[in-house]
Amino acid sequence: MTEAPFLSGGGVCLRPLSPSDASPAYLAWLNDAEVLRWRGPKAFPTSAAQLGAWLDGLASRGDLVLAIEIAETGRHVGNIALNTILWHHGTAELSIMIGARDAWGRGVGSAAIALVTAHAFDSMALRRLWAESPNPAFNRTVEKLGWRREGVKRQAFFSEGKHLDIECWGLLASEWRERRISK
C-alpha cells in the first residue's frame, strides 16, 4: 500500500490513484483483451507514456478515482471511480475495473462498490448513482447490492461477433438507506 486507505472494508482498501501507480501490472491490464472485454475493443495498445499522462491528469478532471487494493497484502488490483459528478443534480456515474484476473470472482468488486456507494451518499451528499454495463458479473453485483435496473440499451455493445445489450442501473440515496436500515 502506498498510502493510508481512504476507505476500507470487506477485505479491500481504497486510496487515491496516483502517478506512482503506473506499474507494469497496471499497464498490462490496459492491454489485456480479457480484462477489457466489457469495456469495448481497442484499436491501439496503451503505452506507458499514455498511462502516465492519464494518471497525471486525474486531479484536474474532478472525478473521484480510487485504487482498489487487497487489504491483507496492499496489492493494487483495480480501480473504481465516480465520474461525471454533477453536483447541482447530486448524481454521478460509477465505473470499475478489476484488472488483476486472480481477483475476479472473489468479492473485491462488490466490496469496492459498497464502500464507494456509502461514501457517495453519506459523505458527498449525492442523491443518485448510475452505471451501465454489458458485463454479466457487474450486473449481478450491482443487483445484489440493491441497484435497480432502469433500462436496456439494446444491442449497443459489440463483442466477439455479437451485438449485446447494455444494462442501465441506478440507485437513489433513499433506497440505499432503506436497504441498509432493513438489514
Write down the pLDDT at residue 4: 76
Q: How many structural domains compose the chain? A: 1
Q: What is the pTM of this model?
A: 0.92
Local structure of 130: helix, strand or coil: strand
Name the band, by pLDDT with cuts 50, 70 and 90, for residue 41.
low
Q: Residue 49: which H helix or E strand, with range?
A: helix 48-56
Side chain identity, residue 30:
L
Write down the pLDDT at residue 13: 97
Domain assignment present for residue 2? The answer is no
Range of the domain at 26: 7-182
Spatial contact of 16 and 3, defined as CB atoms under 8 Å apart:
yes
pLDDT above 70: residue 37:
yes
Euclidean distance between CA atoms 16 and 64, whole angstroms: 8
Q: What sign has the CA pseudo-torsion 37, 40, 41, 43?
A: negative
Name the band, by pLDDT with cuts 50, 70 and 90, for residue 1.
very low
Q: Residue 109: which H helix or E strand, with range?
A: helix 108-122
What CATH number has the domain bearing residue 154?
Answer: 3.40.630.30
Domain assignment present for residue 89? The answer is yes
Domain assignment present for residue 165? The answer is yes
Domain assignment present for residue 176? The answer is yes
Q: Which residue has the higher pLDDT, 145 or 183?
A: 145
- Those residues with Cβ within 8 angstroms of residue 10's Cβ, 6 or more apart along the chain or in another chain: 107, 110, 111, 112, 114, 115
Average pLDDT over residues 115-138: 97
